[in-house]
């Protein structure tokens, strides 16, 4: 009953005029960004992050969340019609969505995309509601030692955000930690790592860092990504063609349930995210299919299951982010930064200290997903025409808004220079296969890790045993140790397999 009352209160918050307007704006922009390949939700959130300075924390989080799950709808449209995933989590949708579109079934594929996304999102929101009351029971058990141990686990889990080498991910987390302590020490007043540059006395600006690493670097990476082979499917999509064909819904029922279950579970697990969930869901459907050969040629289940998994994971990924401060993907790491900008520290206490924002956000998920469903039905033709916008017009405009946005935060050209610097550095990181997402996570969590570490030692009079004496902190530290061992084992195993393959080749 308490959950129902809290949800009703959340709807009162979400349906306030200003919050509703920002929710509509967020889902529309997310949908648009998802449709345009190469832009990416990280770039969109980075560009719009300065806008949140003038907003209430609740409206800011509702808007940014709308951009996130709105892009999941739009990214699927690009995958089906262009065979080019608008977001990484939609790469699987290309396998069966585009063959269906080329066989004249684009309407059926897009209809299944929208139904799967809405169904997965709905179940994901319900999972958030069920898990939320559990957080209240443990909220008062957390002190500085528990927060430090929890964030240590979050930093190590952040290494899993990196594709490829886990050691590279750890290196980026450490670099982010070092960048996070640049500026003036709040306890001693001593300036650290500023190199006598006064503009760095307040530390690096997260807006400049995020825009550079994800906005500018992403633009540089995706220039001229669309080739003549990636042409928009010419089949005309109308409202009439969006009606499901006979047998589509019956054939997809099991896939929807399985995909949603996989997505909800993977979203809750820190360090996973919707991309992994969509691949696992597709592999599961192919394994369970009576005719696996249908997959890759236009199987409707190949759209239903991964898209439901993506949407469910997108919603439930807010659980570890808001309750533990451990993001499941780079977007959630950026969400952490947005919360900290507004002076809100994610953790078990968040539900109690910011109940309006927490339940308003959950209610806004339902409102936003319903808006998305209503938006996509009449605007599907416009989205498809948007796919033909040349990058040579799109990217300069986006870069202009990046520069204006970062300058508006402090009215300082130094920040614009930092954006360009981090953009080039981020592009070099990508070329060298160093993922920038763990760096952002280390930068965001670094100051909080340091603060809670020092506070715990002050309370314990310098006794390091405080981190393993209490059960919660000891559990997090044990999980961190196991994660380190797992990362070392996986790295050594890859090297051993590489040596064996080389020996066989010789």
Q: What is the 3-state secondary structure (H, E, C) of 28-58?
A: HHHHHHHHCCCCCHHHHHHHHHHHHHHCCHH
- DSSP classification of residue 191: E
Helix pair angle (57-82, 330-341), 10° resolution: 160
pLDDT in tens, 443-477: 877 777 888 888 888 888 888 888 888 888 888 88
Cα-based torsion angle of the residue sequence 405, 178, 343, 356 in order, rounded to the nearest 10 degrees: 90
pLDDT of 148 above 70: yes
Beta bridge partners of 183: 192
**What pLDDT does 409 receive?**
62
Give percent of the chain with pLDDT exceeding 90: 1
Q: What is the CA radius of gyration of the chain?
A: 23
- Region 346-366: mean pLDDT is 80
Q: Which of 6-10, 162-166, 370-374 has the lowest mean pLDDT?
A: 162-166
Backbone angles phi, psi at 123, to 5 degrees: -65, -35
CA 336 – CA 436 distance, rounded (Å): 15
Backbone angles phi, psi at 191, to 5 degrees: -85, 135
Tokens 């990217």 label which residue?
A: 395
- DSSP classification of residue 216: I
CA 183 – CA 417 distance, rounded (Å): 18
Tokens 């806004």 label which residue?
A: 364
Q: For residue 234, name the pLDDT band (cuts at 50, 70, 90).
A: very low
Q: For residue 229, name the pLDDT band (cuts at 50, 70, 90).
A: very low
* 284: helix, strand or coil: helix
- DSSP classification of residue 212: I
CA 10 – CA 358 distance, rounded (Å): 8
């Amino acid at each position: 009953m308490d959950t129902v009352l809290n949800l009703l209160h959340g709807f009162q918050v979400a349906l306030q005029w200003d919050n509703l307007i920002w929710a509509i704006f967020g889902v529309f922009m997310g949908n648009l960004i998802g449709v345009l390949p190469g832009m990416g939700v990280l770039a969109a959130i980075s560009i719009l992050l300065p806008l949140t300075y003038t907003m209430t924390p609740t409206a800011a989080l509702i808007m940014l969340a709308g951009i996130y799950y709105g892009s999941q709808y739009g990214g699927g449209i690009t995958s089906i019609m262009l065979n080019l995933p608008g977001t990484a989590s939609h790469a699987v949708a290309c396998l069966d969505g585009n063959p269906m579109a080329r066989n004249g079934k684009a309407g059926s594929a897009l209809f299944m995309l929208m139904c799967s996304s809405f169904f997965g999102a709905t179940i994901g929101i319900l999972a958030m509601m069920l898990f939320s009351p559990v957080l209240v029971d443990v909220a008062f058990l957390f002190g500085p030692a528990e927060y430090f141990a929890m964030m240590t686990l979050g930093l190590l889990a952040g290494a899993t955000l990196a594709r490829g080498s886990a050691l590279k991910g750890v290196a980026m987390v450490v670099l982010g930690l070092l960048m996070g302590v640049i500026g003036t020490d709040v306890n001693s007043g001593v300036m650290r790592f500023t190199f006598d540059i006064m503009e760095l006395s307040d530390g690096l600006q997260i807006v400049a860092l995020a825009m550079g690493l994800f906005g500018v670097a992403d633009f540089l990476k995706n220039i001229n990504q669309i080739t003549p082979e990636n042409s928009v499917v010419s089949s005309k999509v109308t409202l009439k063609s969006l009606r499901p064909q006979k047998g589509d819904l019956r054939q997809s029922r099991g896939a929807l349930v399985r995909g949603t279950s996989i997505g909800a579970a993977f979203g809750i697990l820190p360090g996973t995210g919707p991309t992994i969930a969509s691949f696992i869901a597709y592999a599961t459907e192919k394994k369970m299919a009576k005719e696996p050969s249908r997959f890759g040629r236009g199987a409707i289940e190949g759209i239903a299951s991964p898209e439901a998994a993506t949407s469910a994971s997108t919603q439930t990924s807010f659980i570890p982010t808001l309750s533990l401060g451990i993001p499941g993907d780079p977007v959630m790491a950026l969400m952490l930064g947005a919360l900290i900008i507004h002076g809100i520290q994610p953790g078990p206490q968040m539900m109690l200290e910011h109940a309006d924002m927490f339940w308003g956000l959950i209610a806004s998920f339902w409102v936003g997903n319903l808006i998305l469903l209503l938006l996509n039905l009449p605007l599907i033709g416009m989205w498809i025409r948007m796919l033909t916008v040349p990058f040579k017009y799109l990217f300069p405009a986006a870069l202009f808004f990046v520069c204006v946005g970062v300058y508006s935060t402090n009215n300082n050209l130094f920040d614009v220079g930092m954006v360009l610097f981090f953009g080039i550095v981020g592009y070099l990181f990508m070329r060298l296969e160093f993922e920038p997402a763990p760096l952002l996570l280390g930068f965001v969590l670094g100051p909080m890790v340091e603060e809670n570490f020092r506070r715990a030692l002050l309370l314990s009079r310098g006794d390091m045993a405080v981190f393993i004496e209490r059960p919660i902190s000891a559990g997090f530290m044990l999980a961190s140790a196991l994660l380190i061992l797992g990362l070392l084992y996986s790295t050594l195993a890859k090297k051993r397999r590489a040596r064996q393959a080389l020996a066989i080749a010789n």
